[in-house]
Amino acid sequence: MNRPDPMTDRRPNDSAQAEPNLDKPGVRLPPPLVYLMAILLGAGIDRLVPLRVLPADLTRWLGGALVLFAVIIGALSVREFRKARTAIRPDRPATALVTTGPFRYSRNPMYLAFSLLQAGIGIWMNNVWILLLLIPVIAWINYHVSAREEQYLRGRFSQTYPAYQGRVRRWL
């Protein structure tokens, strides 16, 4: 049988692209970049086809509050990763399962924070396109990032992750 080399996680004669490293979730496109691309695309579309949905006096404080809330959730999430001394980036191996701080309420508080940030920016700018583009971004994060991360974490932390997954929701 063609078994993987334990030092490289590759089978003999396999190319690096044929089999991903088994100690990483396999996320290739950084989620913050996906959110940034959606915000920039929405801003670009708005220059061509501006659409407003909210009264101007509502956009600043509501958008600002969402942005502030997103920054707080994101900062608290990063703090928990640093306390646990594990990788924040989803393309790096996890050395600890973080279940404290915002992770007590959401398995993905960082993606929740990025989603709130995009929504806050969209509302602040009164830009319907940024808000609408949040739908495919969340779908992409859900199916191409969270699903891969969860599969990886179930394998990496097989004793603790299933219980954590059973008691804490993916988003909220």
pLDDT tens per residue, range 29-69: 999 999 999 999 999 999 999 999 899 889 999 999 999 99
- State mean pLDDT over 111-133: 98
CA angle 29, 130, 123 (to 5 degrees): 130
Percent of the chain whose predicted confidence (pLDDT) is above 70: 87
Question: pLDDT tens, 141-168?
Answer: 999 999 999 999 999 999 999 999 999 9
Q: Where are the domains of the chain?
A: 31-167
The whole-model pTM stands at 0.85
